[in-house]
Structure 1
Amino acid sequence: MRVLLSTYGTRGDVEPLVALAARLRALGAAVRMCAPPDEEFAKRLAGIGVPLVPVGPPLRELMRGRTLPSATDLARYRNELVETQFDTFPAAFDDCDVVVAAGLGQVAARSVAETAGISYVYVSYAAVHLPSPHHAPPPRPGWPEPEATDNRTLWALDAQNVNAQFGEALNRHRAALGLPLVNNVRDHILTDHPWLAADPVLGSWRETPGLDVVQAGAWTLPDERPLPGELARFLDAGSPPIYVGFGSMSPAEGIGGMAVEAIRAQGHRVLVSRGWADLDLVDDGDDCFAIGEVNHQNLFGKVAAVVHHGGAGTTLTAARAGVPQVVIPLQLSDNPYWAGRVAALGLGAALDSPTTTVESLGIALKIALSPETRACAKSVGSRLCTGGAEVAARWLLDESR
């Protein structure tokens, strides 16, 4: 069994496929992965014995700025990525039995799989990415903001936007390959039988006519790495600190500093994760400590709360640790969705990033650190699953036999 995994995105997009790849290899499958050519992804894959097929420009360079690229630049990046995929995928898919594509940006994957005569599976990491009358589409930077409020209308407009961005390029390549043209690019990419790699307690799918979604749970690997010595000593030197980090994203100007100020104002120590934004929020005070990439599975059980951007991986790891959360979501992808889930489940508080202040952060922290929220976070954390990648790997092997 030979499996090709493909995504283009930040660490939150790559890590679930890393977990699936590790489980597939343990079950005897051969695996390779198409992903951005960032060095950290290459090292991560090499560590589990999976070859990287680099596709597109490095992601970290695109994410460095405090703001996203302009709508014009985003459209150009997306179009260039489609051309790169149609150039790169045929050789990458060669001799594979199945391809698993993650993310709406995998525009060429299904067409190349059709041409090669191999199975195609689409996976989403959050229910909000799949069309349903139960929720609105996620924010898609660079595309027109709809004025409608009805979810069905919003999803119809979303399909129009996807067609406007990718329709011409996709159908041009499909015609060259002798394949029938596509009139709904989004639904073509998603298929009518997508997989959902999200914990059913934290982010369940509500049944929707016309879409047969299978949910195996979130795809993660256990992380056994010890914490760095300096970090361990900081944790031991006082009461549990509050973690602040925005992962692969760059928060709006001033948000990180506001978080540190609000935490200190309530008498708590602060742990700042630099992340891809390379946050530099630490002064000479001994109540604040900065870290690079560390084992969050190990760390989050040792902090009082987690302040973050609403990434799927951070939300899940904090929830599994049973620690309260304060989410300041970027208006991007599934960040607002996970912020809403944290608030709805009573795991903490969610803020609106553009209007966040030191005062609103202080109120959110009081909610998150209340005895009621702490108890709820521990209760929900005890109910979350850990075997999603194993389940999905076995499904994939069974479906492809």
Structure 2
Amino acid sequence: MLLSTYGSRGDVEPLVGFAVRLRELGAQARVCAPPDEEFAQRLAGIGVPLVPVGRSARALTTGAPPASSLPERAAALIAGQFEVVTAAAEGCDALVATGVMPAAAGALSVAEKLGIRSVYVTFQQLTLPSPHHRPLAYPGRPFPPEETDNQVLWDLDARSNNALFGTALNTNRASIGLPPVDDVRDYVIGDRPWLATDPVLDPWRPTPDFDVVQTGAWIVPDHHPLPADLLAFLDAGAPPVYVGFGSMPMLASADVARVAVGAVRAQGRRVVLARGWADLDLVDDGDDCFIVGEVNQRALFPRMAAVVHHGGAGTTTTATRAGAPQVVVAQATDQPYWAGRVADLGIGVAHDGPSPTVESLSAALRTTLASGTHDRARAVAGEIRTDGTAVAARLLLDAIG
């Protein structure tokens, strides 16, 4: 099996869990993903090879804005998919495509050319057209602020996908003898996409347009113990508050760590601060703060009084499953959606805006640390499914016979 993606940690990490499950059922998998060292190390740790494609995702996310336009960057990404995935998919029985739209379109085109079964997977439902939610706007292509009709917005979204990616995709398809596609988004999604999210945290309401298969979230098995010094810190006092913003560089301001630590201290709590792609660091040498890099969140979050994060699908699911109350400081893309779900379920607070202050974060934490939120978070945790990768792996293996 070839598992193909292009994106940040949240696009790669679920494939780790899926690859492990496939291997347990007797199938071999390789992952085609950005060449970032942390992705290679993560996959090497489970014995799954990484086939690198494109530029470093972290460099693209945290570096200076690229001089090239989005269509030019997408064209390079699509061409890379055709070159790399074609070789990587040789001998595979199936291809699973996820990640950003142009990468998925390229990978699925390769599967079409090779005549192997393929499936598109998304880790959040906002890429799937529905009358119940709006599409996500691409940078530089905002929707008309006065437009509220979801069908109109999804039609505009289809036009944006075709304008941004259609020419490059069809040029590469023609180079390998494939016919052009008229609608890039519909081609990628197909008539039976998979939605790898939890139905309690992310309920999908059926539509007549396609048959969505909701497998449950692809939770990664992680048995790594927490470091001894971190365990000593946890054991030395009351449960602390975790603060981490994953692959969000827009929170790299020197003030963010100071704001976070100040807000947590204002609640009389200790802090576990995660560096992330924002490279956060301690603000002083106080013994109530501890800094972590890569860490087993599944082992850490159950020991937290609360989890403050950016609202990525993976972090939200992990915190919810751990029963940890949450403060979501959403930045972009699907993160406001996950913040809203946390608030709607009563398991935490959606911070008002992407730039917290000591006062605003303190207020959010005050609500989150209340006993009612903690009790609700513990109750919802018991409803979260843990069989997402098993369901998906069995579906895939049954499909290829």
TM-score grouping bracket, smaller chain normalisation:
over 0.9
Identify the residue that residue 267 of structure 1 maps to in structure 2.
268
Equivalents in 2 of 1:140, 1:394: separation in Å?
Answer: 34
Equivalents in 2 of 1:355, 1:233: separation in Å?
Answer: 32
Equivalents in 2 of 1:150, 1:16: separation in Å?
Answer: 33
How many residues were matched structurally? 396
Identify the residue that residue 165 of structure 2 maps to in structure 1.
166
Identify the residue that residue 334 of structure 1 maps to in structure 2.
334
Q: What secondary structure, in the 3-state scheme, does the structure 2 residue paired with 1:306 have?
A: strand
Further displaced range: 163-172 or 245-254: 245-254
Q: For residue 42 of structure 1, what is the amino acid of its counterpart?
A: A
- Identity %, equivalent residues: 59
Decide which of 58, 69, 76 is 1:80's aligned counterpart: 76
User: Is 1:146–1:157's contact at 8 Å kept on the other side of the alignment?
Assistant: no
Equivalents in 2 of 1:145, 1:260: separation in Å?
Answer: 37
User: Is 2:143–2:153's contact at 8 Å kept on the other side of the alignment?
Assistant: no
Q: What are the within-5 Å matches in structure 2 for residues 85-164 of structure 1?
A: 85-103=81-99, 104=101, 105-147=103-145, 148-164=147-163
Equivalents in 2 of 1:391, 1:308: separation in Å?
Answer: 28
Q: What secondary structure, in the 3-state scheme, does the structure 2 residue paired with 1:106 have?
A: helix
Identify the residue that residue 291 of structure 2 maps to in structure 1.
290
User: Is 1:70–1:142's contact at 8 Å kept on the other side of the alignment?
Assistant: no
Equivalents in 1 of 2:214, 2:31: separation in Å?
Answer: 22
Note the C-alpha offset of 1:71.
Answer: 8.3
Determine whether 1:347 maps to 2:347.
yes
Q: For residue 246 of structure 2, what is the amino acid of its counterpart?
A: G
Q: What secondary structure, in the 3-state scheme, does the structure 2 residue paired with 1:50 have?
A: coil
Equivalents in 2 of 1:234, 1:73: separation in Å?
Answer: 47
Identify the residue that residue 313 of structure 1 maps to in structure 2.
314
User: Is 1:282–1:289's contact at 8 Å kept on the other side of the alignment?
Assistant: no
Q: For residue 345 of structure 1, what is the amino acid of its counterpart?
A: L
User: Is 1:125–1:196's contact at 8 Å kept on the other side of the alignment?
Assistant: yes
What is the TM-score with the length of structure 1 in the denominator? 0.94
Note the C-alpha offset of 1:214.
Answer: 0.4
What is the TM-score with the length of structure 2 in the denominator? 0.94
User: Is 2:70–2:164's contact at 8 Å kept on the other side of the alignment?
Assistant: no
Identify the residue that residue 63 of structure 1 maps to in structure 2.
61
Identify the residue that residue 210 of structure 1 maps to in structure 2.
209
Decide which of 30, 34, 44 is 2:32's aligned counterpart: 34
Equivalents in 1 of 2:223, 2:120: separation in Å?
Answer: 30
Q: For residue 177 of structure 1, what is the amino acid of its counterpart?
A: I
Note the C-alpha offset of 1:391.
Answer: 1.1
Equivalents in 1 of 2:22, 2:367: separation in Å?
Answer: 41
Q: For residue 93 of structure 1, what is the amino acid of its counterpart?
A: A
Further displaced range: 303-312 or 100-109: 100-109
Equivalents in 1 of 2:53, 2:353: separation in Å?
Answer: 32
Q: For residue 292 of structure 1, what is the amino acid of its counterpart?
A: G
Note the C-alpha offset of 1:180.
Answer: 2.4
Residue ranges of structure 2 left out of the alignment (5+ in a row): none
Equivalents in 1 of 2:157, 2:114: separation in Å?
Answer: 29
Q: What secondary structure, in the 3-state scheme, does the structure 2 residue paired with 1:107 have?
A: helix
Residue ranges of structure 1 left out of the alignment (5+ in a row): none
Equivalents in 2 of 1:38, 1:91: separation in Å?
Answer: 20
